[in-house]
Amino acid sequence: MKDFCIIGSGISGSTIAHILSKKYSLDVYDKARGAGGRSSNKKFNQSESFDHGLQYISPKSTQFKRFINNLITKKIVKKWPGKHIFLNKDKKEDKKHAKIIGNKGNNSVSKYLLKNINCIFNTELIKISNKDKIWELNFSDGTKKFYKSLILTCPFPQLKKLSKKYIKHSFINKKVKMDANITVMMVTKKVKPNISSYFFSDEILGWAAYENSKKRFKSDYDLWTLQSTYKWANKVINKNKINKLDNAKILINKFFELTNLKKNKVVHIQNHGWKYSSNSKPLNIKSYWNSSIRLGACADWFVGSRLESGWLSAKDLSLKIKK
């Protein structure tokens, strides 16, 4: 029986797995097709792709800056140059911190951390139970697996559903509200704008990234990732599955209206709804560890709303486990 089962291959799961793998045997499970979680990357063609979750990393803490600088040296991540246009009147532009993206996609960091780790994808954990200090885990493919310790890194509502019988801590009774986001991946005939991104001041459209400007691929098309505001997404997310095209068209029309870019033929549209995108109110603990039943949790929402928050939460959990 292996020591640890880690649920989730986003930054939190991949970071804790990377640290614990130096001392323990472990497996990582994810219900998605590949690594990265909310910092995933979606292929359009063989080489062209969209970062349809996390847009860029802007390291703030000294510890995380050091980690990212090391990954720049290793060519896992890089700076995202170009013209980033800030149109939001309600927020201050963060000019102090660099915009960092994955070299091949924004899931590059998770992929790098999980390089030598056994990962099982397309497999959802649906039920957990602890008998005689052993975790019995039931997965969506009908399999049952046993581990000495369990670590969950899911968004808060999913973690609560799985583990509220076992987590006896005040945070589990808190209302951690995670905002939604609607992301549209749009491919148009080429205009080749000299722009990398837009940060809008609008009720509906929040952000647009020109994927070609990340210099990961050459394309005959322009690839744009459009992301809604949280406010609008929270209102429409529950019916997004049946209104995919209509919602995508609302964001696309907004985009052309606000940017004044020439509207070339749109050849591909994909709408991805994130029900649990981010939590803006951090908790008063950075991670959770119960050493008697060996159950842990780490995720961005403990610390904040960004990738760095997930990394800090995983680091904190690793220290608790070491004690």
**Window 34-73: residues binding ligand FAD (CB under 6 A):** 37-39, 53-57
- Look at residue 4 and give its three-state secondary structure: strand
| Count of CA atoms in the C-beta half-sphere (13 A) of 193 | 23
Region binding ligand FAD by CB under 6 A among candidate stretches 8-16, 69-77, 190-198, 260-268 = 8-16
Q: Is 10 in the site for ligand FAD (CB under 6 A)?
A: yes
Q: Quick one: DSSP state of residue 57? A: B
Q: Is 232 near ligand FAD (CB under 6 A)?
A: no
Measured from the CB atom, is 15 or 212 closer to ligand FAD? 15
Closest alpha carbon to 188 in 251, 270, 255, 269: 269
150 scored as a contact of ligand FAD (CB under 6 A): no
Does position 283 interact with ligand FAD (CB under 6 A)? The reply is: no
Task: Rule CB under 6 A: choose which of 5, 6, 7, 209 binds ligand FAD.
Answer: 7
2-7/144-152 β-pairing:
parallel
If the CB atoms of residues 138 and 219 are measured against ligand FAD, the closer one turns out to be: 138
Which residues contact residue 179 at a Cβ distance below 8 angstroms, ignoring those fewer than 6 apart? 230, 233, 234, 277, 278, 279, 280
Using the rule CB under 6 A, which residue among 181, 188, 247, 318 binds ligand FAD? 181
CA dihedral of 34, 101, 210, 82, whole degrees rounded to 10: -170
Residues that bind ligand FAD (CB under 6 A): 7-13, 29-32, 37-39, 53-57, 124-125, 153-155, 158, 181, 183, 227, 274, 277-278, 299-300, 306-310
